[in-house]
Amino acid sequence: MTPDQLFQLFIAGLTIGSIYALIALGFVVIHNVTGVINLAQGEFAMLGALIAITLTSETPLFNRAFTVSWNLPLVVGIVLATLLVMGVGALVYLIVIRAARTDSVIIQIIITIGIAIALRGIALIIWGTDPYRLPEFSEGPPIHIGGAVLTRQDLWVIGSALALFILLYLFFQRTFIGASLRACSVNRTAARLMGINVPHMMLLAFVLSAGIGALAGIVIAPKTFMGYDTGTYLGLKGFVAAIVIGGLSDERGAIIGGLLLGILEILAAGLISSGYKDAIAFLVLVVVLLVQTTGILRRGTRREAAGV
């Protein structure tokens, strides 16, 4: 393996890693603010991608009962799809999570798995089993950096992930609402005593995470086929990324975890065997969890100690 090929794999890993990082971020935002592990996070990505595809290109729906061809401009489609998925996130919180007042991790996990199954089923009814693809965001020849070839979509994925990270950082650090969200993740009771409307913040966390998830699904949709069941694996990988480094409660840990996971996965597929590509994520997960039971950065320790 030449250094150029290695670099090529690294770029590919960075691209898919950005997606994992975004989904992982969604897990962390919801978990920090609400204490819930939302295993339907990958479904937000799937919905975002499929809705964007439907809005921008001709798509047969409901078992080919009718075909829509709105052919909206890509930007409009992306914005609308993201907003719609944010609405789904709000509904998930308002209808289910708010009603389920339980501290049991098992019950919480089953509830969000139920949500994931229902969303997947709805997608199956609307879009069927066919996978779809978005066109690349911008046309043009691939870009050569050193010996590696970068497609324009790779740049879009990495670039939009980076932009989202920066925007979210500014939102959490520089705005009042962002600070309120952070207060909720430090201590919900204290936040309430300080006059923060905690249920509103929880709703906002779900809306925000749904939006992040949807965007992740949309930017990766030109690179990979999206179908009703694509969200499951994306969600699982995002979960692993969120948990391995940051123990599910550290945003930076989630981003680093996602990028590392993507790179590791692609390197393993390129160097060892592509058949076991998906096993790498979980092998890493199991090993890391066994060495450090609360993630490498260990921010989860306090929450765990309080929660169990």
Stretch (H or E) spanning 144: strand 143-145
Alpha carbon distance 289, 291 (integer Å): 5
Return the residues of window 51-90 that contact other proteins according to CB under 8 A. 62-63, 65
Q: Is 37 in the site for other proteins (CB under 8 A)?
A: yes
Alpha carbon distance 171, 144 (integer Å): 34
Residue selected from 2, 66, 99, 139 as contacting other proteins according to rule CB under 8 A: 99
For 31, residues 6+ apart whose C-beta sits below 8 A from its C-beta are 37, 38, 242, 248, 249
Residue selected from 90, 91, 124, 198 as contacting other proteins according to rule CB under 8 A: 124
Residue selected from 68, 76, 110, 190 as contacting other proteins according to rule CB under 8 A: 110
Length of the chain: 308
Residue selected from 289, 296, 298, 301 as contacting other proteins according to rule CB under 8 A: 289
Q: How many residues bind other proteins (CB under 8 A)?
A: 51
Q: How far is the CB of 207 from other proteins (least distance, A)?
A: 19
Residue selected from 104, 138, 173, 187 as contacting other proteins according to rule CB under 8 A: 104
Which of the 8 DSSP states describes residue 96? I
Q: Is 118 in the site for other proteins (CB under 8 A)?
A: yes
Q: Is 240 in the site for other proteins (CB under 8 A)?
A: yes
Structure tokens at 308: 């169990």
By beta-carbon proximity to other proteins, the closer residue of 98 and 192 is: 98
Which of the 8 DSSP states describes residue 226? B
Question: Among the residues of the chain, which ranges form H helices?
Answer: 3-34, 41-56, 74-91, 105-127, 152-174, 176-186, 188-193, 198-220, 230-244, 251-271, 277-291, 300-307
Q: Is 306 in the site for other proteins (CB under 8 A)?
A: no
Q: What residues line the site for other proteins (CB under 8 A)?
A: 37, 62-63, 65, 96, 99-100, 102, 104-107, 109-111, 113-122, 124-125, 129, 232, 236, 239-240, 243, 248, 273, 275-276, 278-279, 281-283, 285-286, 289-290, 293-294, 304, 307-308
